[in-house]
Amino acid sequence: MLQAPTTMLNALAALTSLHDRDALSLSLCITLQEIFDFKQLDLYHYRAAPLQTDCAWQIKHTIHLQDGQMSQSWHWHEHEILSNLSPELDPLITQALSSSEASVLSSDGYRVVRCLYSANQPQLLIDCRNTSALSAKDLHVLHGMTRIYENHSTLLDYGQTDSLTGLLNRKTLEQQFFKVMAHQKNLNNLEPSSVDIECERRSHPDNEVYFLAVMDIDHFKRINDQFGHIYGDEVLLLIAQLMKASFRSEDHLFRFGGEEFVIMIGPQSEDSALQAVERFRERVAQFDFPQVGQVTISIGITQLLDFEILSTVLGRADEALYQAKDQGRNRVVTAAIDAISIKEHSPNNGSIELF
């Protein structure tokens, strides 16, 4: 049952004021529950598996709203590609993924599943359950609300993503960096009485932190000179697709400029982060690029210390990248962090010394 129009207008104003995609998704869920008084609403993030068929997805269940209570869970199938026919998927979700219709309604009318798109690419799936059958008016308004989300999300894509590769662009790097650092600081420093933080700490052990990697395509100028810029652009595009296929959805992938890319990984252990970038390096080296053949990359990676600024982290990762180049390219080098650096970037009695 629809709530008061003023509730809807205020919710729309709040929704369209957001510029962070995670906050936008969460706001959509809360808005839909407030407007329709849904008993339960589940939000799934999913993406087409790059370099595979269009009907293959990697799906994670991110937000669960039930009777006004919100919980977040992460069921990310990192190495498993789910197809529309995967038996573990709910039949109505399977139907929604396979259907050309905007929404799929259960036979009793109590439940609707809808796929949301951004720039013609599937992005989210919402699963809404009600205590009574949804009316035609309910479905019409729900369709309009989600269209507003899709349009706003598409506008964000234009401003925040690289037009060639679809990765996040350089100007969004600082924004995402602040988000990551705030999250890491919360995990490390908030009081243990906070239930939410304790839940996150159980999900992410103490030895799991964030990492930043800077990646550069080896001899890229030679590729452009020998094969032309069209093939050079194709190499950039294919490497971006390999990045999307190799890293988790919570990792942030950027085209930093030219043939240079940045990856923010975590939270996870150092061994896990190094394995992820090494696995990606090997995947690129083994890939057969059309006309060009083999292409390799060099990577410098560093841990993010609390209270650091972006330029410091990028500088340290760049130094490691230059070492990788000097050592023969096609390798990963970790930037060493000594005890003095850790002490300098650690808070003193919970505060930051500015002077």
Q: What percent of the chain shows pLDDT beyond 70?
A: 78
Phi, psi of 199 (to 5 degrees): -60, -40
For 61-92, the pLDDT digits (tens) are 777 888 777 777 666 555 455 555 566 677 88
Ranked by mean pLDDT, which of 8-12, 154-158, 181-185, 306-310 comes out on top? Answer: 306-310
Q: Which residue type is seen at 252? A: H
Between β-strands 69-72 and 56-66, what pairing exists: parallel, antiparallel or unpaired? antiparallel
Q: Which position among 34, 78, 234, 259 bears the catalytic label?
A: 259
The answer, yes or no, to whether residue 274 has pLDDT greater than 70, is yes
Distance between CA atoms of 7 and 67, rounded to whole angstroms? 18
Contacts of 33 (CB under 8 A, 6+ apart): 41, 65, 68
Distance between CA atoms of 146 and 116, rounded to whole angstroms? 7
- Full-model pTM: 0.68
CA distances from residue 76 to 128, 212, 276, 281 in whole angstroms, order as listed: 21, 21, 15, 22
Q: Does residue 319 carry a catalytic annotation?
A: no
For 240-253, the pLDDT digits (tens) are 999 988 887 778 99
User: Please, which pLDDT band fits residue 57 given cuts at 50, 70 and 90?
Assistant: low
Across the range 79-108, mean pLDDT stands at: 73
Of 170 and 34, the one with more pLDDT: 170
